[in-house]
Structure 1
Amino acid sequence: MKIALIATEKLPVPAIRGGAIQIYLDSVASVIAANHDVTVISITDPSLPDNQKINGVTYVRFTEDQYIQSIVQHMKTHQYDIVHLCNRPNWILSLVQVAPQTKFVLSVHNEMFAPEKISDAEGKKCIEAVSKIVTVSNYIGETITSRFPSAKSKTKTVYSGVDLNQYQPAWTEEGKILRTEARKELKLENKKIILFVGRLSKVKGPHILLQALPKIAEKEPNAMLVVVGSKWFGDNEVNNYVKHLYTLGAMYKDHVTFIKFVRPHDIPALYAMSDLLVCSSQWQEPLARVHYEAMAAGLPVLTSNRGGNPEVITEGENGSIIYDFDNPDAYVNPIVSLLKSESKRAKMGKNGRKIVETQFSWEHVAVNLLKVYEEARSNS
């Protein structure tokens, strides 16, 4: 098959500046390209050429200000069997018009079919025009099918994935080295590390964890919250909310460490050095990438009961779900319980690693997507 994967206009592929969609596309493209002709389309970046081929994948990049217009022109001169468009249902009709023989697969990573983002008429037309819709969680699928029942027969959950080689649990030789070096570099050798990775925004809830910190530290004096992230990918500017986090953190400076934006390449060491991950999302999160990364690194995961997050966590098996998610006190006992029990952490961490090995490698994601592409082709 000749396949085009189209990223949003936000960030380039490969994911040199982060981005869940960009990581997703780049990772599945190289697997699918082993047996198919794959082109990835994304925005330009000063550090990348406009056209290149890496590992059998053709990368085509257009400027952000003319992005959709450039893709339409590209489609006029390049014939694809499948076009997999990410997160932009409003672009579908423009693309279908210039490539009526192509089968379109729309992958939805956020609530793109919410009333404020797409009208009833636009939503119906988009659903009619696509052959398949893949969503990153059942939660996101339900946000589409509850409003547009006609999408049910076309919609399927294909969970995202993780590079199993990139994330090494602390019980492996490589993981042990990463853990020791990262802890030494950050002067956290004797700490029990609670990891938060994400944008520093209110919807991600890092302030909730900082508010929980005094009670956690009281019960576990070696507790250290490591907050990794910035207000936006690659942007370390301090806005009012980030300033508020730093002010809160300054009150408990022996128990919190802030690390600004980290390139994806350097993230695995931070997971390896940690003891557990907390995802404190306050919004209806589609299903945060950090769940897959933490499980791959052999960490138990505590996650808020928001959106798709709980779909990959089984209570007591690979982590816990926080139902009273906006209450700092609700995080205290689950965190302390894990920090105090190495055996519990090890059991959950090993279960999590096994889950990603059997369900969430990029190879699994690619196989699941190829099944969808084949179904799209066979449906007239």
Structure 2
Amino acid sequence: MKIALISTEKLPVPAIRGGAIQIYLNSVASIIANKHDVTVISIQDTELKDEESKKNVRYVRFPENQYVEMIEQYIQVENFDVVHLCNRPNWIEQLCHAAPQTKFVLSVHNEMFSYEKMTDAEGKRCVQQVSQIVTVSDFIGRTITDRFPEAKNKTKTVYSGVDLHQYQPSWSVVGKETRNNVRGELELQGKKVVLFVGRLSKVKGPHLLLQALPSIIEKHPDVMMVFIGSKWFGDDNLNNYVRHLYTLGAIFENNVTFIKFVRPQNIPQLYAMSDVFVCSSQWQEPLARVHYEAMAAGLPLITSNRGGNPEVIEEGKNGYIIHDFENPQAYAKAINLLLNDSSKRARMGKYGRNKVEKDFSWNRVAENLSQVYEGVVKER
């Protein structure tokens, strides 16, 4: 099959500036390309060529301000069997018009079928025109089918994944060495490290973790809460909210570390140095990919009961779900529970690593997507 994978207009592929969708596309493309002809389309970037081939994958990049129009022209002449468009249902109609013989698969990574983003008529046309809708969680699937019941037969959850080789748990030879090296570099020897990875925005809830710190320090004065992220992907400029976080963190200078934007290839070593991972999202998170990363690194997870996040948590086995998600003390209680017991952390971390090996490798994601592509082509 000849397949095009189309990213959004926000960030380039490969994910040199971050982005869950960009990581997703780049990771599955090279695996699918072992059997099929694969092209990845994204926006231009000063650090990337406009066109190149790597690992049997062709990368084509168009200007951001002409992105959709250039995609239209490109798929008109390339005659793809399948076009997999990420997260832009409102583009489906014009792309289908440009390539009427092509089968379209839409992957939905956020609440793109909400009333704020499309009318009933637009949603119905999109559902009618696509051959398949794949979603990153059951939660996102329900946001589509609850509004458009006619989409139920076309909608399927295909969970995202993680590179199992990049993320090494602390009990592995590589993971242990990485853990010791990074802790040495960051002067974290002897610390109990609680990790947050994500944008420093109010909807991600990092302020709640800072507010929880006094109750954690009281029982674990050797705790270090590490925040990795900036206000936006690749943007280390400060806004009022980030300044507020820094001010709060300064109160606990011996227990808080902020690390600004980290390129995706350097993220795994920061998981390896940690003991507990926390996702404190306050918004209806589709299902943050940091959960897969933390499991792959052998960390127990604490996550909020928001959106799709709880779907990968088996309560008490690989993590804990915070139902009182706006309450700093709920996070403090769960963090203290894990910091109290190293054997519990190890047991839950190993369960999570086994789970991600079984269900959430990129090979599994690519296999699931390939089955979707093959299924829609057979419909002809």
Q: State the distance in 1 between where 2:294 and 2:332 align.
A: 20
In the other structure, the counterpart of 1:379 is: 379
Which amino acid in the other structure matches residue 221 of structure 2?
Answer: P
Q: Secondary structure at the match of 1:236?
A: coil
Q: Displacement of 1:198 after TM fit? A: 0.1
Paired residues for 1:11-160 under 5 Å: 11-160=11-160
1:182-223 per-residue CA deviation (whole Å, 9 max, x = no partner) reads 111111111000000000000000000000001100011111
1:73-104 per-residue CA deviation (whole Å, 9 max, x = no partner) reads 10111100000000000000111001111100
In the other structure, the counterpart of 1:184 is: 184
Q: State the distance in 2 between where 1:228 and 1:76 align.
A: 42
Q: Displacement of 1:379 after TM fit? A: 2.4
Q: State the distance in 1 between where 2:262 and 2:175 align.
A: 18
In the other structure, the counterpart of 1:309 is: 309
Q: Displacement of 1:377 after TM fit? A: 1.4
In the other structure, the counterpart of 2:281 is: 281
Q: Secondary structure at the match of 1:293?
A: helix
In the other structure, the counterpart of 1:337 is: 337
In the other structure, the counterpart of 2:229 is: 229
- Two-structure CA RMSD over aligned residues (Å): 0.5
Which amino acid in the other structure matches residue 169 of structure 1?
Answer: P
Which amino acid in the other structure matches residue 311 of structure 1?
Answer: E
TM-score by length of 1: 0.99
Q: State the distance in 1 between where 2:365 and 2:61 align.
A: 24
Which amino acid in the other structure matches residue 346 of structure 2?
Answer: A
In the other structure, the counterpart of 2:241 is: 241
1:321-366 per-residue CA deviation (whole Å, 9 max, x = no partner) reads 0000000011111101111111000000000000010000000000
**Aligned: 1:298 with 2:298:** yes
Which amino acid in the other structure matches residue 20 of structure 2?
Answer: A
Which amino acid in the other structure matches residue 314 of structure 1?
Answer: E
Q: State the distance in 2 between where 1:90 and 1:232 align.
A: 24
Q: State the distance in 1 between where 2:329 and 2:128 align.
A: 47
Q: Which runs of 5+ in 1 are unaligned?
A: none
Seq. identity, %: 68
In the other structure, the counterpart of 2:169 is: 169
In the other structure, the counterpart of 2:216 is: 216
Q: State the distance in 1 between where 2:331 and 2:56 align.
A: 46
In the other structure, the counterpart of 1:257 is: 257
Q: Which runs of 5+ in 2 are unaligned?
A: none
1:151-195 per-residue CA deviation (whole Å, 9 max, x = no partner) reads 000000000000000000000110011101111111111100000
1:100-146 per-residue CA deviation (whole Å, 9 max, x = no partner) reads 11100000000000000011000000000000000000000000000
Which stretch of the first structure deviates more once superposed, 330-339 or 226-235? 330-339
Which amino acid in the other structure matches residue 331 of structure 2?
Answer: Y
Q: Secondary structure at the match of 1:70?
A: helix
* Count of aligned residue pairs for this structure pair: 380
Q: Displacement of 1:263 after TM fit? A: 0.4
